[in-house]
Amino acid sequence: MTVIAVLGAGKIGEALLGGLLQGGRGAEELLFTERHPERAAELTARYGIAGVEVAEAAKRADVLVVAVKPQDIEPVLAELAPLVGPGSLVVSLCAGLPTSLYERRLPEGVPVVRVMPNTPMVVGEAMSAVSPGRHATAGHVALVKEMLATVGQVVEVPESQQDAVTALSGSGPAYFFFLVEAMIDAGILLGLPRAVAEKLIIQSAVGAAKMLADTDEHPVILREAVTSPAGTTINAIRELEKHGVRAALLAAIEAARDRSVQLGKAHE
């Protein structure tokens, strides 16, 4: 039996625990740590999983999933350092933090796998990218992929691409939410009730995403299918291009990538 402990049971940590249960793992195979006793009691009542201290998690678990905020990583690593060894697998869900940080702070030989998930994990539709550290084997990566497959889709990328992944898919849901928010506001501006505008845009977004996923067509082809000559859509596209929406989005994702790089360098 492989025991998995999630260190930090926030939204992502809880979503992973729920996915692992739904994927067939028993509650006795899972542990979590949580600083707030009320939150810990709530999770135990909801899932039947034991909440423990970090030291207990390190002692009992084969896999330690670090799901704390990047700024909170140092005390966690300081607590783990005397407790883990090469027999433990450390999985980092912390944005911007490289495997080299864990390898410096933890004993020699501890395998580390870096993961960049995103918040659709809470509805079982995450996009996660995994990258092995120096001591992680193909078996370690396979185990992590198996875990993450319970909450969405998984790809493996070189760690040199993780900052780009963070900017693109890690932060990506926020860009979609921002766009949907603006489109709902546009519907209200055009005289639609908010509830109607929300339903129109949310279902349009769901349907468009499903078309992208199911048809395997390039987004340009799908967009052109909606864009009739001299029609309404091409006039809207012209305004988007006139206002530099494409360039702004490229610049925004580059800025997110740069911030991810900074988060990693802050712990060098």
Q: Note the pLDDT tens digit of each residue in 129-165.
A: 999 999 999 999 999 999 999 999 999 999 999 999 9
Distance CA 30, CA 60 (A): 10
pTM of structure: 0.92
Q: In this structure, is residue 163 part of a structural domain?
A: no
Residues 151 and 120 in one domain: yes
Distance CA 195, CA 69 (A): 35
Are 208 and 176 spatial neighbours (Cβ–Cβ below 8 Å)?
no
Distance CA 124, CA 19 (A): 7
Q: In this structure, is residue 122 part of a structural domain?
A: yes
Listing DSSP states for 75-102 in one string gives HHHHHHTTT--TTSEEEE--TT--HHHH
Are 60 and 2 spatial neighbours (Cβ–Cβ below 8 Å)?
no
Q: In this structure, is residue 165 part of a structural domain?
A: no
Distance CA 122, CA 119 (A): 6
Tokens representing residue 143 in the block: 């185990």
Residues 70 and 195 in one domain: no
**Binding positions for NADP(+):** 67-70
Question: Which pLDDT score, from 0 to 100, does residue 96 have?
Answer: 92
CATH code for position 51? 3.40.50.720
Question: Partners of 131 in the beta sheet?
Answer: 114
Residues 81 and 189 in one domain: no
Distance CA 68, CA 90 (A): 13
Residues 18 and 146 in one domain: yes
Distance CA 37, CA 43 (A): 10
Residues 61 and 24 in one domain: yes
Q: Give Dmax over CA atoms of the chain in angstroms.
A: 68
Which of 157, 191, 207 is the last residue before a domain boundary?
157
Residues 62 and 151 in one domain: yes
**Binding positions:** 67-70
Strands 63-66, 50-51: pairing is: unpaired
How many folded domains does the chain comprise?
2
Residue whose structure tokens are 């799901």: 67
Question: Which pLDDT score, from 0 to 100, does residue 23 have?
Answer: 95
Question: Which pLDDT score, from 0 to 100, does residue 268 have?
Answer: 67
User: Phi and psi (nearest 5°) for 62?
Assistant: -90, -30
The series of mean pLDDT values per 10 residues for the chain, 268 residues long, is 94 96 96 95 97 96 96 94 95 95 96 97 97 97 98 97 97 97 98 98 97 96 96 97 97 96 83
Which of 92, 122, 157 is the last residue before a domain boundary?
157
Q: Running DSSP on this structure, what letter comes out for residue 154?
A: E
Residue 76's domain comprises 4-157
Distance CA 220, CA 133 (A): 37
Tokens representing residue 144 in the block: 């992590």
Q: At what angle do helices 37-47 and 11-22 cross, to 10 degrees?
A: 20
Question: Which pLDDT score, from 0 to 100, does residue 253 have?
Answer: 97
